[in-house]
Chain A
Amino acid sequence: MDSEATPLLSVRDVTVRFGGVVALDAVSFDVAKGEITGLIGPNGAGKTTLFNCLSRLYQPSSGEILFEGASVLAIPRHRIASVGIGRTFQNVALFGKLTVLENVMVGRHSGTNSSFFANALRLGSVIAEQRAARNQAMELIDFMDLREFTHWPAGGLPFPIRKRVELARALAAKPKLLLLDEPAAGLNHEEVATLETQIRRVRDLQGVTVLLVEHHMSLVMSVSDKVVTVNFGRKIAEGTPDEVKRDPEVIRAYLGTAG
């Protein structure tokens, strides 16, 4: 398969140090195009740190991150969305006073380019761009089943709803790679089932590759094509969900050593 020949994302020996603490220690793995990859590990293993490297919030101390074969470590944070990497945040980072619609429309920022000047004069091009952005946002709002909340300030909505808004906002940028940081946290059983179908549909219908950090094991194991396990900043296993589930190192990391 050619997707294996050129992985969409290639993490190579990425190391992150905060002072004397090594948060990530030479972690390497690939994410193949069109696949859903799960990234698991106990709390503090370094999963979110890796996400923050991928979205350029942190600069790795050493190592390389290749996206479609090119390094992302030299491009500024605000260019990462137009390169094709989108994300959600563990604690949900919405624009609280903006409405759900406006939040999702901010997601279109990287895909649009009208200037301050054109906006201030509301030129015809701005109106057309605005209408297109609004339509795309409304499609995603319907896709995430958020219609009834369209004009509500995002900050006042319940946590599970805000998570859906955040996913819609991330999709609005039309990412090639979507980083989901614990999308199931705080969701009830039914909502996790909906989330699972949504993640699959994002991949199948929109062709988005997904990298998923998650503690909800049954979700990760059923939705992922491949699972990467990290512990104390190091990769300890990589393989299909079944392989990883049987891996003695993984079992030890999660259950502790017996005896």
Chain B
Amino acid sequence: MAADATSWATKSGFGKMAILFWAILAALPLIGYVRDDPSFDYYMFMGQSMLIYGTAVLGLNLLIGFNGQISLGHSAFFAVGAYTTAILMNFAGMPYWATIPIAAVVCFGAGFLFGLPALKLEGHYLALATFTLAIAVPQLLKYKAIAGWTGGVGGLLLEKPDPPFNLPLSPDQYLYYLCLFVSMLMFWFVYNLLRGRSGRAMMAIRDHPMAAGTMGIDTALYKTVTFGISAAITGVAGALSAITIAYVAPDSFTLQLAVSFLVGLVVGGIASLPGCILGGVFIVLVQNSAQSISDWMKVSFSLRYDVPAWAIYGVLLLLLMYFLPSGLMGGLIALKERLFGAKGPDSTDDPAPQASRND
């Protein structure tokens, strides 16, 4: 029970842990000055991807984990964010950083508008409706009539930004800090929402929509705005991905991307903020390591053919779900409870109420 409780929001320790966590992430690029590793820039690039996917998962988690609406189409908002940035940089000559808030606003609008018809749909039906977004958007981006703006099948090539003010950073170190700053801001916004009036209303709708309405919550408004905010956050992640990869193309935003957000969400932990980052790490690491495991198996068992990487990915996912049904974050909390006894996360200042339970 404790693992999926949202009581973390009322705990005083959470904010301090979060600051420590982000401080550690901010210190990681400094390793590059100490160790002379030729592939360090590649690690920095992986770090950027993890933060970007983590932020995309955060957007999805706000919708699914905290508001109880499902989306299989968040790759579409990721794409809209990426293309907004790409088009503005390419055709309006905007600096990359200025395109990020615009991508957020555009995606908020798109999400809000999509949230309106979504009001009529629940559960599986909403899943199907959002699924159509994921399959339609890559094709729409290739559509000939708008190919002048989107670059059609070939996509758009962008300029990779250099560190400003002559900072002594490599471009990838700098982009890592850019991603870190933006995703930290997104997490801070969501954390603030969740511990305030708006977030409580979102979670109340998730747990009991009718009672939420009786408590004075405008459920229709809150659901559409939450859809908009969720899309905006995932769109910001898309904008960052366009900037860091310096390239957008329709086939990077397929249904498979939408599914990997969902996988990251479930693996990290539904309705868990730290779980979003873990989900982002999982998406990047496991997709890479499935291929390396495949290579390793071929060599060490001297196999004739390649072991399919996606099959390995599937097995990894199954094992994870079997051993950690409430995600990595749920697993960590359970481990903490096992090591330090009792019910860690809930016991802020109150005695255990088990004694008075009588059911």
B215 partner residues in chain A, CB cutoff 8 A: 81, 106-107, 109-110, 169, 173
Give the total of B residues in contact with A, Cβ under 8 Å: 47
Given contacts A119-B198, A133-B197, A148-B351, contact A98 B213 (CB under 8 A): no
Does B158 reach chain A (CB closer than 8 Å)? no
Among residues 1 to 50 in chain B, which have CB atoms less than 8 Å away from a CB atom of chain A? Answer: 1, 4-7, 9-10
Chain B residue at minimum C-beta to C-beta distance from A121: B192
A10 to B235, CA, bound (A): 51
Query: A99: shortest Cβ distance to chain B, in Å?
Result: 5
B346 contacts A129, C-beta separation under 8 Å: no
A30 to B206, CA, bound (A): 36
A156 contacts B1, C-beta separation under 8 Å: yes
How many pairs, one residue from A and one from B, have CB atoms within 8 Å of each other in the complex?
146
B195 partner residues in chain A, CB cutoff 8 A: 130
A109 to B349, CA, bound (A): 26
B229 partner residues in chain A, CB cutoff 8 A: 116
The answer, among B9, B198, B271, B350, for a CB contact under 8 Å with A114, is B198
A126 to B200, CA, bound (A): 13
B192 partner residues in chain A, CB cutoff 8 A: 119-122, 126
Query: A54: shortest Cβ distance to chain B, in Å?
Result: 10
Does B219 reach chain A (CB closer than 8 Å)? yes
The answer, among B189, B207, B349, for a CB contact under 8 Å with A96, is B207
A78 partner residues in chain B, CB cutoff 8 A: 213, 216-219
A29 partner residues in chain B, CB cutoff 8 A: none
Query: A151: shortest Cβ distance to chain B, in Å?
Result: 5
A102 partner residues in chain B, CB cutoff 8 A: 6-7, 9-10, 200, 203
Does B212 reach chain A (CB closer than 8 Å)? yes
Does B300 reach chain A (CB closer than 8 Å)? no
Chain B residue at minimum C-beta to C-beta distance from A55: B214
Does A232 reach chain B (CB closer than 8 Å)? no
Does A34 reach chain B (CB closer than 8 Å)? no
B211 partner residues in chain A, CB cutoff 8 A: 89, 93-95
A187 to B3, CA, bound (A): 30
A122 partner residues in chain B, CB cutoff 8 A: 192, 196
Query: A137: shortest Cβ distance to chain B, in Å?
Result: 11
Given contacts A78-B218, A106-B200, A152-B353, contact A116 B225 (CB under 8 A): yes
* Interface of B (DSSP majority class): helix
A97 contacts B359, C-beta separation under 8 Å: no
Chain A residue at minimum C-beta to C-beta distance from B359: A158
> Chain A CB within 10 Å — which of B204, B214, B215, B219 has the most?
B214
Chain A residue at minimum C-beta to C-beta distance from B190: A120
A82 to B225, CA, bound (A): 21
Query: B228: shortest Cβ distance to chain A, in Å?
Result: 9
Does B357 reach chain A (CB closer than 8 Å)? yes
Query: A207: shortest Cβ distance to chain B, in Å?
Result: 20
A95 contacts B203, C-beta separation under 8 Å: yes
Query: B249: shortest Cβ distance to chain A, in Å?
Result: 32
A38 to B232, CA, bound (A): 50
Query: A239: shortest Cβ distance to chain B, in Å?
Result: 30
Does B283 reach chain A (CB closer than 8 Å)? no
A82 to B214, CA, bound (A): 10
The answer, among B199, B204, B212, B357, for a CB contact under 8 Å with A158, is B357
Query: A194: shortest Cβ distance to chain B, in Å?
Result: 14
A156 partner residues in chain B, CB cutoff 8 A: 1
A105 contacts B350, C-beta separation under 8 Å: no
Does B252 reach chain A (CB closer than 8 Å)? no
Chain A residue at minimum C-beta to C-beta distance from B196: A119
B353 contacts A97, C-beta separation under 8 Å: no
Does B358 reach chain A (CB closer than 8 Å)? yes
Does B124 reach chain A (CB closer than 8 Å)? no
Query: A176: shortest Cβ distance to chain B, in Å?
Result: 14
A147 to B208, CA, bound (A): 23
A96 partner residues in chain B, CB cutoff 8 A: 207-208
Among residues 112 to 151 in chain A, which have CB atoms less than 8 Å away from a CB atom of chain B? Answer: 112, 114-116, 119-122, 126, 129-130, 133, 147-151
A55 to B215, CA, bound (A): 10
A97 to B347, CA, bound (A): 16
Given contacts A77-B214, A110-B216, contact A95 B207 (CB under 8 A): yes
The answer, among B1, B210, B216, B356, for a CB contact under 8 Å with A109, is B216
Interface residues of chain A, those whose CB is within 8 Å of chain B, are 55, 57, 76-82, 86-87, 89, 93-99, 101-102, 105-110, 112, 114-116, 119-122, 126, 129-130, 133, 147-153, 155-160, 169, 173
28 residue pairs of the A-B complex, CB under 8 angstroms, read A77-B213, A77-B214, A80-B214, A81-B214, A81-B216, A94-B208, A95-B207, A95-B212, A96-B207, A97-B4, A97-B5, A97-B271, A99-B5, A102-B9, A102-B203, A106-B204, A106-B212, A106-B217, A109-B216, A110-B216, A114-B196, A114-B198, A116-B225, A120-B190, A130-B196, A148-B353, A151-B346, A159-B359
Interface residues of chain B, those whose CB is within 8 Å of chain A, are 1, 4-7, 9-10, 189-190, 192-193, 195-201, 203-204, 206-208, 210-219, 225, 229, 271, 346-351, 353, 356-359
Ranked 6 nearest A-B pairs via Cβ:
A110-B216, A81-B216, A95-B207, A93-B211, A119-B196, A158-B359
Q: List 9 additional A-B contacts (Cβ < 8 Å) besides A55-B214, A81-B214.
A: A80-B214, A93-B214, A102-B6, A106-B217, A114-B196, A116-B198, A122-B192, A122-B196, A126-B192
